[in-house]
Each structure stands twice: as C-alpha cells, then as structure tokens.
Amino acid sequence: MSFLRHPAFLLGANLSAILGSTLYLRSHHVYNLEEHEARMDELEGTLRGHIGLIEEALDRLEGTATEADRGKKMNDYYGKRGGDEKSK
C-alpha cells in the first residue's frame, strides 16, 4: 500500500475530488438558476394580470369601460411576459 503515499497519487486524488465537487456544485447552481427564473416568470405574469385588473377597475370607476372590454386588459397584460420581450 505504499502507492497510496506516493505524491502523484495524492495529487491526482485531490484534483479529482476538487473537479468532482466543482462539477456537482455547478450543476446544482444551474438547476437553482433555472428554477428561480421559472418562479420569477410566474410571478411576473401574476403581477401583470393584477395590473390589468386594477386598470380595468379604474376604467369602470371612470366610466370609460364597456362590457366588451371586461377581462381584455388582464389577458393582454398576463399574456405579455418579460421573457417574450427579452427574446425579441
């Protein structure tokens, strides 16, 4: 078992352990970034939908809205996502 004490073996073992842990942490980080982006997209759509509802309520209070406009702004805002705008 003298090969376990050889400097080349120790260096190789240390480098492989560092490489393995680095690759694992990178993949974990990439996964977390993708999950975070998905949550932010969902939150953005929800906020856009709420903004549409608030604007519709304001239009109804001002008396400028018709029954045909009901739900239109919310759907327009909710359907228009930031990810869609970024890709253009």
Q: Can you tell me the distance from the alpha carbon of 82 to that of 46, in angstroms, rounded to the nearest whole number?
A: 12
**What does pTM read for this prediction?**
0.60
Q: Which pLDDT belongs to residue 82?
A: 61
- pLDDT tens for each residue of the chain, 88 residues long: 787 889 999 999 999 999 999 999 999 999 999 999 999 999 998 898 888 888 888 888 888 877 777 777 777 776 776 655 555 4
Q: Give pLDDT, residue 49.
A: 83
Burial class of 41 by CB neighbour count within 10 A (0 to 12, 13 to 18, 19+): middle
Q: What is the pLDDT of residue 52?
A: 83
